[in-house]
Amino acid sequence: MTEISEQYRIEQEPFYHPQGDEIALYQAAYQARMPVMIKGPTGCGKSRFIEHMAWRLKRPLITVACNEDMTASDLVGRYLLDADGTRWLDGPLTVAARIGAICYLDEVVEARQDTTVVIHPLTDHRRTLPLDKKGEVVAAHPDFQLVISYNPGYQSLMKDLKQSTKQRFSALDFDYAPESVEAEIICRETGIDADTASKLVKIGHAARNLKGHGLDEGISTRLLVYGAQLIGQGVEPIAACRMALVRPITDDGDIRATLDHAIDSLFA
């Protein structure tokens, strides 16, 4: 188990700039081995925060990118056929429960509700994971913790967590960082100069102001980092911004023109 655990450890500190008391709150939740739900818009730093906390707590981290085709077997495991017959292969959730890792289910609402039900026994006093096909009940390692995340902005009746699932978790709300902090993050992540980072952030905030007025989602911090990386590669700033910030988020001609104008006014 030690060898398996080591392969999931994060050796180098993932940069994360706190916006409030989220680090202390998460640490308290981990000490209580309390399941945690992280809510926030696309690309605001949810996954980076969990990576940072796993590094800070010196715990292995197993991340699962949830999708609508994911089955319960994808999480817990299945029997496989090989030359010697059948053998059982643990899924990522089972591995995490056995070795005492933090298991992070990213965008959990993308998974089918009949799949997410399998996490329930791990999120209450039982802290167990039944492997029905194998006839085994896995008792979670004392260091195991379950974390899920999703974007409330994309919730629908078809893609939402059941109350019976939500009320098994504590929760932290995330949002995009204030302008000065977001500019500092971009500088730290890409090595871009502070003035350019500040201009990128202004474009990001201009787009976020259009959310609900033609845009489903604004420009994420992740996209701002992409724009800075392109500029760092020698791409002209206006072209970099159009490629990384505007074209990915909309095909609407009027909204593109509005954001292109904001880019031109800052970088011309």
pLDDT at 5 (0 to 100): 79
3-class secondary-structure state, position 87: strand
- The answer to whether the CB of 75 falls within 8 A of the CB of 93 is yes
CATH topology of domain 2-173: Rossmann fold (3.40.50)
Ramachandran angles phi, psi of 50, nearest 5°? -65, -40
pLDDT at 90 (0 to 100): 96
Delimit the domains of the chain by residue range.
2-173, 179-267
pLDDT at 157 (0 to 100): 44
pLDDT at 1 (0 to 100): 66
Mean pLDDT of the chain: 93
Q: pLDDT for 205-233, tens place per residue?
A: 999 998 878 888 889 999 999 999 999 99
| Residue ranges of E strands in 91-244 | 102-106, 128-131, 136-139, 145-150, 170-173
- The answer to whether the CB of 100 falls within 8 A of the CB of 54 is no
Is pTM, for the whole model, over 0.75?
yes
pLDDT at 152 (0 to 100): 86
pLDDT at 254 (0 to 100): 93
Of 97, 85, 87, nearest in space to 133 by CA = 87
For residue 232, give Cα distances in angstroms to 17, 198, 199, 255. Answer: 22, 15, 14, 26
Q: pLDDT for 93-111, tens place per residue?
A: 999 999 999 999 999 998 8
pLDDT at 160 (0 to 100): 76
Amino acid type, 226? Y
Q: How confident is the model at residue 82 (pLDDT cuts 50, 70, 90)?
A: confident
Q: pLDDT for 122-158, tens place per residue?
A: 999 999 999 999 999 999 999 999 999 999 866 554 5
Per DSSP, the residues of 215-259 read: BSS---HHHHHHHHHHHHTT--HHHHHIIIIITTT---HHHHHHH
Q: How confident is the model at residue 115 (pLDDT cuts 50, 70, 90)?
A: confident
pLDDT at 217 (0 to 100): 83
Amino acid type, 136? E
pLDDT at 155 (0 to 100): 53
Q: How confident is the model at residue 53 (pLDDT cuts 50, 70, 90)?
A: very high
